Structure 1
Amino acid sequence: MSALAALAEWPVKTAAAAVLGPSGVLESHGPMDSRFALASVTKPLAALAILVAVEEEAVSLDDSADEALLPGATLRHLLAHASGVASERPLRSFAPAHRRVYSNVGIELAASLVERATDLPFPRYLDEAVGRPLRLDATALDGSPARDGVSSVADLARVVHELLSSTGLLSGPMLAELATVQYPGLRGVLPGYGPQDPNDWGLGFEIRGHKSPHWTGSANSAGTYGHFGQSGTMLWIDPEARLGLVALADRDFGEWAAAAWPALSDAVLAEYG
């Protein structure tokens, strides 16, 4: 039985998935070109575009996030959810690097820094920096860079493959940095899974570490990084196994996903790891 066969039993109308290795797609299931609302899986796409802007020297990870609102916080803090800004409102809730506060506002602030530096609307910059180089024909952003993207499994498979086997979208050092824990030891709440201590994050990507419970599988390595979205979407890259997984569905995250995603991840790793 294929690792992705379980998707046929998911309690959703439509689901699609792909398993990736360094050579490309190893297995797929469902409508690869169908577009799904990404919710927070928009964040890693936005982060990749922001990191392209860093490498183009339009912005720096050391740039001030917003000195009036978040004194001492930088773009790096924003991408790592360590700026102290509240989740949904532009309010300072903690000092920088004091607590991991998962924040949509933080990602929006990060994108606004790129908009000002490049004089381009962020959706256009995302398309030019990431969409066109990776041929993401089904991917678009119409709204918040934290949650309003749409894409397909085929497109996100190209993104995951780029992270597994780079063609040069980002430099090697930057690829390593995005998957490295920023501000180690910070505790915080992982949405849908409760308090985590520590709650590890890289630059725009969550890092599994030793979190429990978690949306990846029990067999995923601690270095696994990725993201999930409340619209029923997820992707991860396991650098130890040299595998990636994308799974998109049209049902909001809930108990079904909390059970299905780890089981799927473990099945993928058992077959291909």
Structure 2
Amino acid sequence: MIRTLVMLCAVLWAAQASAVTCEKLTHEDKRYTVCEVDASTADLRLFLNDENGDVLGHFSSVNEALEPQGKRLAFAMNAGMYHDDRSPVGHYVEEGQEQMRVVPNAGPGNFGLLPNGVFCIREGRADVFETLAYIDQAPQCRFATQSGPMLVIDAELHPRFLPDSTSRYIRNGVGTSADGSRAVFAISDDYVTFHEFGRLFRDVLDTPNALFLDGNISRMYERASNRSDIGFSLGPIVGVVEDAP
């Protein structure tokens, strides 16, 4: 009986530990850090404000908010564009409560470079939807964040991306598998174009739909490697939550 319990605990620990795995890779001479999340088992959430309504803004603040619950971040990344007050530019849902409506129309900046999309976290899965498809299908998301542009749409690059573009930034984004079981987050360690970043998700990460989260301000947290990028306050943050020891 004791042996059985020990083995069960080991299996449960391994399942939690493997909920997110990060690695360095190089594609077309550009370096990236890629973190793959098992969306079927991971506690994947979005964070914006604390219980007092104040903007969290930093990975350290999210960890402080989780600490009383006996939880902590295993991984996190900035998760969408925001206004000066850190409120989301587009659609935002947290714990099933819509805080910002869907914005379907074109507009200035990368967000308005249609088609853009929505990253939706549901029970046992995560999906990137093109915005109009999201409106049409109306999935019941526990968490959702809208950003843009889409990087990959049904296995095709965004039609506005230029192979010879000279616009290069540190960029981050997320792609999902067709069955929703994999959410793959990537941040470039070199300055890259949209076309190069999109090809990473399409050709290497094997995600038929992928969404640009932001550029220039892109930051990442990974507990296993002691990485915690710092800078000014962020808006929405996406993270994998684990039990604290």
Under a length normalisation based on structure 1, what TM-score does the superposition of the two structures give? 0.35
Under a length normalisation based on structure 2, what TM-score does the superposition of the two structures give? 0.38
Q: Structure with the greater relative contact order (CA < 8 A, sep ≥ 6): 1 or 2? A: 2
